[in-house]
A and B are shown apart, each in its own frame.
Chain A
Amino acid sequence: MLFGRVRGTAVASIKYPDLTGMKLLVVEPLNKHLEPTGPLQVAVDVVQAGPGDLCVMVRSREAALAMQVHTFVPVDLALIGIVDELVVHPDDQFDFTLKKGSIKYT
C-alpha cells in the first residue's frame, strides 16, 4: 500500500463492461515524505476522493478486490482511504540498517 495525490480525473467512455460507473482518477504516487516516486497513474476511486486529496492506494489483485460490486475486473490500482492526518518522524531518528551480529530491539 502506498500514498498518492489526486491530480485529476480520467474519463473512458469505452471500457471493460464491469467497470461501468467506476470513477477513474489520475494520481501521483508519493513516498512517506510526500515526494513523487514515479509517473502519474490512473486509479479507481471507491472512497469519493477529489482533486488534491492525499490518499492511500492499494496495488495488484487487491485493487480489484476493493471494488464494491464486481471484483473480477482489470484494475491494478485503487484508492482505499483519504488521509486526514499523517505523522511521519524524520529518518535521522531511526536506524534502518541491519548490522551483523546480535541486535536487541526491546
Chain B
Amino acid sequence: MILGKVTGTVVTTISHPHYKNRRLLVVQPLTLPGDPPQGDFVALDNSQAGIGDTVLVNREGNGARQILDNPDGCVISVIVGIVDSLQIEEL
C-alpha cells in the first residue's frame, strides 16, 4: 500500500460495470523530501475520501478484488483508508 494525497475527482457517466456507482479520485503519491515525484494515478474510493485527504491506497488487483468482493473485478487501485497521522523516524 502507498500513501498519497487526493488532488482531484473524476466523473465518468459511461464506465465499465465494475466501476458503476463508485467514485474515482486522482491521487498523487507522497515522497520523502529530495526524492523525485512519482506519477499520479486514478483510484477507486472505498473510504469516502475527499480532495486534500491523505489516503492509504492499495495498488494491486487481487487485494482490490477482495475489497470489492468481486472475484473478476477489473480494478487495481483502491483507496482503503484515510490517514490521521504519520510518525516517520529520523535514521
List residues of chain A with CB under 8 Å of any chain B CB: 1-3, 31-32, 37, 46-48, 56, 58-63, 65-66, 71, 78, 80-89, 91, 93-106
- State whether the Cβ of B69 lies closer than 8 Å to any Cβ in chain A: no
What are 29 of the A-B contact pairs (CB < 8 Å)? A1-B24, A2-B42, A32-B7, A37-B39, A46-B16, A47-B15, A56-B42, A58-B74, A59-B76, A60-B76, A65-B73, A66-B16, A71-B72, A81-B12, A81-B15, A81-B24, A83-B12, A84-B12, A86-B11, A88-B8, A94-B5, A94-B28, A96-B28, A96-B37, A98-B30, A101-B88, A103-B85, A103-B86, A105-B53
Assembly CA distance A98 to B44 (angstroms): 23
- 7 further A-B pairs in the complex, CB-CB below 8 A; given A89-B51, A96-B31, A103-B85: A31-B39, A62-B64, A66-B74, A80-B74, A85-B10, A96-B5, A101-B88
Assembly CA distance A37 to B24 (angstroms): 20
Q: Considering the complex, which residues of chain B in the window 35-91 have a beta carbon less than 8 Å from any beta carbon of chain A? A: 37, 39-44, 51-54, 61, 64, 72-77, 82-90
A81 cross-chain contacts in B, Cβ below 8 A:
10, 12, 14-16, 19, 24
- State whether the Cβ of B13 lies closer than 8 Å to any Cβ in chain A: yes
Assembly CA distance A41 to B86 (angstroms): 38
Assembly CA distance A52 to B75 (angstroms): 24
Tell me whether chain B's interface is mostly helix, strand or loop, or mixed.
strand
Assembly CA distance A103 to B87 (angstroms): 6
Assembly CA distance A1 to B43 (angstroms): 6
Across chains A and B, which 6 residue pairs bring their CB atoms closest together, nearest first? A88-B8, A81-B12, A81-B15, A66-B74, A85-B11, A80-B16
Contact, CB under 8 Å: B74 / A94: no
Assembly CA distance A21 to B7 (angstroms): 37
In this complex, how many residues of chain B approach chain A with their Cβ under 8 Å: the count is: 50
A1 cross-chain contacts in B, Cβ below 8 A:
24, 41-44, 75-77
